[in-house]
A and B are shown apart, each in its own frame.
Chain A
Amino acid sequence: MHPLTMTPAINIQSVHKRFGSVNALKGVSLTINGGEFFGLLGPNGAGKSTLINIIAGLTRADEGDVAVLGHHVVRNYRQSRRCIGVVPQELVYDPFFTVREALRIQAGYFGLGRENDPWIDELLDALMLGDKRDTNMRALSGGMKRRVLIAQALVHKPEVVVLDEPTAGVDVELRQSLWAFVKRLHRDGHTIVLTTHYLEEAEALCDRIAILNHGEVIALDTTQGLLERGIGRTLRVCVTTAAPVTGLTGKYAAKIVRQAGNRLDLQLERSSDSVVDMLDAVRQCGATIIDLSTEEADLEDVFVELTRRKKA
């Protein structure tokens, strides 16, 4: 099926949520398509978890509607909750049970019995928890508990998987294996929604990104589209003279962002500045260029720019 003809994986329409005097969500609308790898980014307190909790049915919206694969999360909660698996941000666990007991119980809530055990074993292996299956939850390290949370979210094979900061407090190696696992889920056709504060991860993984700030969507675009909104790139030039380059004409003088020793960093506007013209200008000052590199704006630059602009 073509993505456009499918019911959206998640459809969010003008969702409002207040907590007392805190206006956590101020009319958020978003459509996440089936099969997408979607990033939900934003600074602390932006409302990401609140939005996820509303999608999961953990919190009720004050206003607005949310549907998962067409099932309204309040009116049709049974169907919508079967379609979605949520990995909560908080590291929660039930200290009464072992890893496998916890997973069997979770599957049981969804009406699944022993026939689901092979899938549970598969999850345990994929998340490298195979040797911990009979260990009590209390005795696991933080990173292991996080992986059990991921397994718990997947016990009922949901089509839509939502991960609220799955890599917080997880070491580098494990993070990579987690992403390999999530990518596999995505390849297998699952829709993935992800929040993270590691923007390079989001940049590498997500097809589309929404940036939430103070309860509002301030940007919604493909990852590439967002990157192109970056103010531009940085041109780094190494010249022969250790002395500052003087005599750079007015227009270009304003583009210098850093000058140290024989290194010169210039900020280029993506559409209006030409690298060649800029280099000519540098050369005309009498400097000989011995090396140069350009650095594209990354998601972090764009993120900082967008969220800061909004605050001002």
Chain B
Amino acid sequence: MNWRGMQTLFRKELLRFYKVGLQTLAAPVMTTLLYLLVFAQALQERVQVFTGVDYAPFLLAGLIMMSITQNAFANSSSSLIQSKVTGNIVFILLTPLSHVEFFLAFVAAAVVRGLAVGLGVYLAAVLLVPLPIHNPGWLVLFAVLNSAALGTVGVIAGIWAEKFDQLAGFQNFIIIPLSFLSGVFYSIHALPDFWQRASHLNPFFYMIDGFRYGFFGASDIDPSISLAVVVSVFAALVTLTLWMLRSGYKLRN
């Protein structure tokens, strides 16, 4: 392993978003708080969630996970597409970094960005909406796994896309619909049968439901099933990404 090389790439990726922190950290925290204020107010009385759990904390937990996953995705995907479009990706491709080191550095940076935004939302919102912590271990486990999974999807999208609008398409037609339809704003038990079943095909549902369990000790389905699904999805994504990177797909042709 070229540890120092990998660490350099990781640090470079951190610097990249840290230097524009207003856009990459503060802005997503702000947006998420707006969602919280608007939806918690509007839907408070109407949405039935877990027994004994108020809507506002339920929503906040979902929003924290949504901000974690969206920012993890944004970090690796936008860094890659920018480097490709401007051409400076050659600086990485010319070095002895292996495809595994490349992958780990990008995903680790995406995890840090996702967790930083998630923590920011938590700290800002917890003043307004009290949120219990039932099991911190589950919380951390899901936060890390989910951000790593979306960081990996970001690597895939960033390698696949050749232009900014293709990446925007990936985000607007895949990532955002799947995360909005995952139960961030509602418990899937409140949905008609068909949509409940459809939600079970959405990996984001398990990501959010498992994460919520960490806060409330209650969830739509058994959290160990969520964990199993998330781990399997992550493993499949990693396999695909490593194969893409190893073959040089779109990066070295």
Contact = CB atoms under 8 A, between A and B. Distances in A.
Interface of A: 56-60, 77-79, 81-82, 86, 88, 90, 92-97, 105-106, 108-113, 152
A57 B8 CA distance: 20
A86 B94 contact: yes
Interface of B: 2-5, 7-9, 11-12, 15-16, 19, 83, 86-88, 90-98, 248, 252-253
A90 B93 CA distance: 15
Given A59-B252, A59-B253, A90-B87, A82 B96 contact: yes
27 contacts: A57-B252, A58-B94, A58-B252, A59-B252, A60-B253, A77-B96, A81-B95, A86-B94, A88-B90, A92-B87, A92-B90, A92-B91, A93-B86, A93-B88, A94-B86, A94-B91, A96-B15, A96-B16, A105-B8, A109-B5, A109-B8, A109-B9, A109-B92, A109-B95, A110-B95, A111-B2, A113-B4
A109 B12 CA distance: 10
B4 A58 contact: no
Contacts of B87: 88, 90, 92
A293 to B, nearest CB: 48
A111 B2 CA distance: 6
A236 B11 CA distance: 66
Contacts of B83: 94
B252 A60 contact: yes
Contacts of A112: 4
A105 B88 CA distance: 13
Contacts of B86: 92-95
Contact of B5 (A56, A90, A110): A110
A90 B15 CA distance: 25
Contact of A110 (B7, B19, B96, B253): B96
Contacts of A60: 248, 252-253
B96 A81 contact: yes
> What 10 pairs across the A-B complex have the smallest Cβ distances?
A108-B8, A109-B95, A92-B87, A78-B96, A111-B4, A94-B88, A81-B96, A92-B88, A109-B5, A111-B5
Judged by DSSP, the binding face of B is helix
A109 B97 contact: yes
Contacts of A92: 86-88, 90-91
Given A58-B90, A92-B90, 10 more contacts: A59-B253, A88-B90, A94-B83, A94-B91, A105-B12, A109-B5, A109-B9, A109-B95, A110-B96, A111-B96
Contacts, number: 74
Nearest to B93: A58
Contacts of B90: 58, 88, 92
B154 to A, nearest CB: 18
Judged by DSSP, the binding face of A is loop
Contacts of A110: 5, 95-96
Contacts of A78: 2, 96, 98
Contact of A81 (B19, B88, B94, B253): B94
A79 B95 CA distance: 10
Contacts of A58: 90, 93-94, 252
A24 to B, nearest CB: 12
Contacts of B12: 105, 108
- Listed residue (B3, B16, B93, B98) with the most chain A CB atoms within 10 angstroms of its CB: B93
B74 to A, nearest CB: 16
A312 to B, nearest CB: 33
B149 to A, nearest CB: 26
Contacts of A108: 4-5, 7-9, 11-12
Given A78-B96, A96-B16, A96-B19, A106 B4 contact: no
B2 to A, nearest CB: 5
Contacts of B4: 108, 111-113
A81 B7 CA distance: 18
Contacts of B95: 81, 106, 109-110
Contacts of A88: 87, 90
A162 to B, nearest CB: 10
Contacts of A82: 96
A69 to B, nearest CB: 14
Contacts of B2: 78, 109, 111
A106 B91 contact: yes
Nearest to B96: A78
Contacts of B5: 108-111
Given A96-B16, A109-B5, A56 B96 contact: no
B94 to A, nearest CB: 6
Nearest to A110: B95
Nearest to A104: B8
Nearest to A156: B95
- Listed residue (A60, A93, A111) with the most chain B CB atoms within 10 angstroms of its CB: A111
A247 B2 CA distance: 78
A88 B86 CA distance: 13
A233 to B, nearest CB: 44
A152 B92 CA distance: 11
A88 B5 CA distance: 21
Contacts of B15: 96-97
- Listed residue (B19, B83, B248) with the most chain A CB atoms within 10 angstroms of its CB: B248
